[in-house]
């Protein structure tokens, strides 16, 4: 299965090359991307009749917002009927399906950014990085009084001001990986578990026995095991498999990487690990059933100008990885970002030999897009486009 490009570099803007966050919401794919030259973040989305089409359609992404005060988005997730986006200065934004934005007043101050967001059992959980490191939750995100701090027993043994965490969950437990990314070493990371979000117990307490381990960039549950990656500036990024039935019971999985593995996902029984911070070009590592991890042949190069014979440029990051196997959408996505030449790109991989309703939907969807560009009837065009998106999305859900 080959990787296929589903966006133009930087959505057509060369300086859109920095950190990317992605999530699926009501079958729309959302991407928040940093614009390095303007110190801002842009939020884009595309409809499934585009990203599931057999051919990439230029112009299929629509920008729904520009966050002019934000420099980076590390947390983006769906919660109920909203998308939640957290930035590097602890702003928390909420978006409806129609793109209406609300700046949520959570009341948390003195934080250095939002590093993770997770929806679990009716609550939205948010990690605010800094010192003190804080976890807050709310069952009514637009009411400031509903936000309450939890996990106050989670310890911080370092002295760092940039302590952060990352969530994952299944139907029974919420998991949190904590730590700090420090060039001088680590020895600080831990993993915690909670069945209700209020009561937390430690699962890994000793930085996996390696004092060089610092932050935990990614957690993922796969085949009843918890997997965690660590940043280790002295001996290279690590990947661990964790036994959920005992404290400090884990094993290291050997992968031929040095840069941290900053994104994990599974799809159709395949386990993916995406590398980040690799100046030689980020690698994608894949574990198929009954096999060990191996590096995928690089398919994420950016051809700047093939007519001039210029060499291909490889990304520094492959993150995030997200996947879905719903009846209407069965695919895995990866974002390749921070090319030296600029212009982050989003890719997809789908099962081969399968026909999708989008094979004919994508032929018609550009008609709506062209109709929107008729400048003398912009209001009617916009309504026509939104009606078309809702109708085609319902057709996806019925298949």
Give the helix/strand (H/E) hosting 372: helix 358-372
Same domain, 108 and 125: yes
Give the residue, 394 or 280, on which the prediction is more confident: 280
Task: State whether 322 and 361 are in the same domain.
Answer: no
Mark whether 238 and 367 lie in a shared domain: no
Question: Whole domain around residue 195: which residue ranges?
Answer: 4-355
> Do 320 and 375 belong together in one domain?
no
70-82 pLDDT per residue, tens? 998 989 999 999 9
Q: Which range has the worst mean pLDDT, 35-39, 130-134, 165-169, 345-349?
A: 130-134
CATH (domain of 133): 2.130.10.10
Is pLDDT of 365 > 60? no
**Same-domain check for residues 129 and 229:** yes
Tell whether 219 and 341 lie within a shared domain.
yes
| Better-predicted residue by pLDDT, 305 or 167 | 167
Q: What integer pLDDT is reported at residue 390 of this predicted model?
A: 59
Per-position DSSP letters for 214-236, written without gaps between them: -----EEEETTEEEEEE-BTTT-
Which pairs from 167-172 meet CB under 8 Å and 24+ separation?
Answer: 167/116, 167/117, 167/118, 167/120, 167/125, 167/127, 167/219, 168/118, 168/219, 168/220, 168/221, 168/226, 169/118, 169/120, 169/221, 170/221
CA distance 29 to 23: 6
Once rounded to an integer, what is the mean pLDDT over residues 274-302?
A: 90
Are 284 and 214 in the same domain? yes
Asked if the model's pLDDT at residue 115 lies above 50, the reply is yes
Three-state DSSP class for residue 396: helix
Identify the pLDDT of residue 114.
92
Q: What confidence category does residue 108 fall into, taking pLDDT thresholds of 50, 70 and 90?
A: confident
| Mean pLDDT of the region 352-377 | 48
**In the beta sheet, which residues pair with residue 186?**
none
347/284 Cα distance (integer angstroms): 12
- Mean pLDDT, the chain, whole residue set: 83
Domain tally, the chain: 2
Residues 42 and 125 reside in one and the same domain: yes
pLDDT band per the 50, 70, 90 thresholds, residue 138: very high
pLDDT greater than 80 at residue 216: yes
Instruction: Give the model's pLDDT for residue 368.
Output: 47
Of the pLDDT bands very low, low, confident and very high (cuts 50, 70, 90), residue 120 is very high
Q: State whether 61 and 178 are in the same domain.
A: yes
Q: Which of 184, 182, 250 is nearest to 219 (CA)?
A: 250
Tell whether 59 and 195 lie within a shared domain. Answer: yes
Tens of pLDDT, residue by residue over 158-210, are 544 456 788 899 889 999 998 887 655 555 789 999 999 999 999 998 889 99
In this predicted structure, the answer to whether residue 36 has a pLDDT above a threshold of 90 is: no
In tens, the pLDDT along 367-381 reads 444 544 444 444 454
- Give the tens place of pLDDT for each residue, 224-266: 899 999 998 888 899 999 999 999 999 999 888 789 999 999 9
Position 308 scores a pLDDT of 56
Look up the pTM and report it. Answer: 0.86
| pLDDT at position 388 | 59
Whether 27 and 130 share a structural domain: yes
pLDDT value of position 38: 87
Same domain, 372 and 351: no
The pLDDT, as a whole number, for residue 306 is: 54
């Amino acid at each position: 299965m080959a990787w296929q490009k589903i966006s133009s570099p930087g959505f057509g803007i060369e300086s859109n090359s920095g950190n990317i966050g992605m999530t699926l919401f009501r079958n729309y794919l959302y991407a928040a991307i940093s614009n390095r030259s303007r110190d801002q973040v842009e939020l884009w989305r595309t409809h499934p009749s585009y990203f599931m089409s057999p051919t990439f359609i230029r112009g299929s992404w629509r920008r729904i917002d520009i966050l002019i005060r934000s420099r980076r988005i590390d947390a983006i997730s769906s919660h109920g009927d909203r998308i939640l986006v957290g930035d590097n200065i602890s702003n928390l934004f909420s978006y409806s399906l129609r793109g209406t934005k609300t700046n949520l007043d959570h009341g948390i101050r003195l934080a250095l950014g939002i590093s993770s967001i997770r929806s679990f059992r009716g609550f939205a959980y948010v990690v605010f990085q800094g010192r003190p490191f804080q976890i807050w939750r709310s069952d009514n995100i637009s009411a400031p009084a509903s936000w309450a701090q939890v996990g106050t027993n989670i310890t911080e043994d370092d002295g760092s001001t940039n302590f952060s965490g990352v969530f994952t969950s299944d139907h029974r437990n919420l998991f949190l990986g904590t730590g700090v990314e420090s060039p001088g070493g680590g020895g600080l990371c831990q993993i915690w578990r909670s069945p209700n979000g209020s009561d937390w117990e430690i699962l890994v307490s000793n930085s996996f026995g390696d004092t060089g381990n610092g932050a935990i960039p990614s957690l993922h549950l796969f085949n009843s095991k918890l997997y965690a990656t660590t940043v280790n500036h002295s001996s290279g990024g690590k990947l661990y498999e964790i036994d959920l039935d005992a404290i400090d019971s884990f094993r290291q999985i050997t992968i031929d990487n040095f840069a941290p593995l900053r994104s994990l996902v599974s799809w159709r029984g395949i386990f993916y690990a995406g590398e980040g911070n690799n100046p030689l070009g980020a690698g994608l590592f894949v574990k198929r059933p009954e096999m060990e991890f191996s590096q995928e042949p690089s398919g994420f190069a950016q051809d700047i100008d093939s007519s001039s014979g210029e060499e291909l440029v490889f990304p520094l990051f492959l993150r995030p990885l997200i996947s879905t196997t719903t009846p209407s959408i069965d695919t895995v996505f990866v974002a390749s970002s921070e090319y030296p030449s600029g212009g982050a790109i989003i890719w997809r991989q789908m099962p081969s030999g399968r026909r999708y309703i989008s094979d004919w939907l994508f032929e018609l969807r550009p008609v709506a897009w062209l109709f929107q560009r008729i400048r003398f009837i912009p209001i009617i065009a916009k309504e026509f486009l939104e009606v078309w998106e809702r109708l085609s999305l319902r057709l996806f859900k019925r298949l």
